[in-house]
Amino acid sequence: MSRSPVIVGVADAPTHERGRALPGATVLSIQRDAAHEALAQAGLRMRDVDGLAVAGMWGMPGPGAMQPVLLTEYLGLEWPRYLDGTNIGGAAFVLHAGRAAEAIRSGQAETVLIVYGSLQKSQTARALGGRPAMFSNQWDIPAGLPLPVGAYAMAAQRHAHVYGSTRETLAEIAVATRAWAALNPAAAFREPMTVDDVLDARMIASPLGRYDCCLVTDGGGAVVMTTEERARDLRTPPVHVLGHGASASHTSIAHMPDMAKLEAAEHSSRRAYAMAGRRPAEIDLAMLYDSFTITVLMTLEALGLCGYGEGKEFVRGGRTGPGGAFPVNTNGGGLSYCHPGMYGLFTIIEACRQLWGLAGERQAEGVRTAICHGTGGVLSSGATLILSTENG
């Protein structure tokens, strides 16, 4: 089908010094540079863009926080006809891609740019406290729950209680992810790591230690989507968006229906699989938002890549690392590659590179269909994308 939505370009911003933006970067320029690079990969120009999707933790405070408008101005887009600023946390960009797919399919947009940028490391903008104790957070924040890590820690504790996962299970995920990062020149942390290194690291919120937690880095990225027909004239072979879905449940971890199950991912992926006409067994690569090691474990189970409670066997012995049976987070993830606050877009960027065979030393074999899953908040929201080199 000619208006089938496809991805034709991706880019991530270069960083140095453990994930710091290059000198002179602003939160806007880092997005512009990534956008230009992603467009150039496809052979497109900024003037071809008629749709924009963006979310972030930047922007003018209060009623001025209109990121799609500010970026329209900054990038010089000419009367974009499709705009999306939906913010469901770090999952947002995966949701943006799903919606952009429908906008492209229906003719509301021809070429959509999805961008993200953050200078949270340079600006030391990240802290475990300081969020307002409002709405359903009136209880956890006055109690001193460090956020988001403390909420994920409670889920990890519950998962261990219900399904028997252990700190070693989580450490296996950190180690496999680091092993991928070692093969990615763009990763902030590439030194080899062992299960013991993870277990011996400083405890943050039990059972999560330092290396169970994602990095705090700067960064930016861009993804360009258009129609299959338009892609025929472009430089990159199209990556087909076969299916997508999104869902959400809670803001405070107190209200996560079942703290041992990432049901938002179950709901969002169920729709994505149905739309794509694919089963979990047909997935060759999983790019999962790894805010914490526990997020990966719970996402693998919720996406049906294994059953609930089977995650601990699924990740055992480096199965998800280089040379393992099932590649997960081949860029080194938020745990070792980069985590500029909202990471979801990077799951799509890496999935495309793997599908194109452009992942260099870390290229996994035989990747034809990939699943991307973003998780936002404190296991609060989820968005899924199923991508393939083949249409249908």
The answer to the question of residue 254 lying near other proteins (CB under 8 A) is yes
Please report the DSSP string for 119-133 in residue order.
-TTTTT---SS----
Sole binder of other proteins in the list 158, 240, 244, 312 (CB under 8 A): 158
Q: Is 140 near other proteins (CB under 8 A)?
A: yes
Pick the binder of other proteins from 61, 134, 232, 392 (CB under 8 A): 134
139 scored as a contact of other proteins (CB under 8 A): yes
Question: What does the block give as tokens for 163?
Answer: 């399904």
Q: Is 155 in the site for other proteins (CB under 8 A)?
A: yes
Within 182-337, residue ranges assigned H as helices are 195-200, 228-231, 263-276, 293-302, 311-314
232-263 residues labelled b (16+ CB within 10 A) or e (exposed): eebebebbbbbbbbbbbbbbbbeebeebbbbb
Near other proteins by CB under 8 A: residue from 164, 255, 357, 361: 255
Residue 214 near other proteins by CB under 8 A:
no
User: Token pair for residue 58?
Assistant: 């930047």
Cβ closest to other proteins, residue 242 vs residue 378: 378
Question: Where does this chain touch other proteins (CB under 8 A) — which range of 20-28, 33-41, 245-253, 317-325?
Answer: 245-253
Q: Which two tokens stand for residue 191?
A: 């030194």
**Per CB under 8 A, 133 contacts other proteins:** yes
Which of 40, 69, 146, 271 is in the footprint of other proteins by CB under 8 A? 146
Please list the residues that pair with 20 across neighbouring strands: 16
* Cα–Cα distance, 279 to 270 (Å, whole number): 9
Which CB sits closer to other proteins, 44 or 154? 154
Contact between 253 and other proteins per CB under 8 A: yes
Strand partners, 386: 243, 371
Helices 29-42 and 67-75: crossing angle, nearest 10°?
Answer: 70
Closest to other proteins by CB, 107 vs 144, is 144
Closer residue to other proteins (CB): 257 or 392: 257
| Interacting residues toward other proteins by CB under 8 A | 127-130, 132-136, 138-147, 149-150, 153-155, 157-158, 161, 202-208, 249-250, 252-255, 257, 259
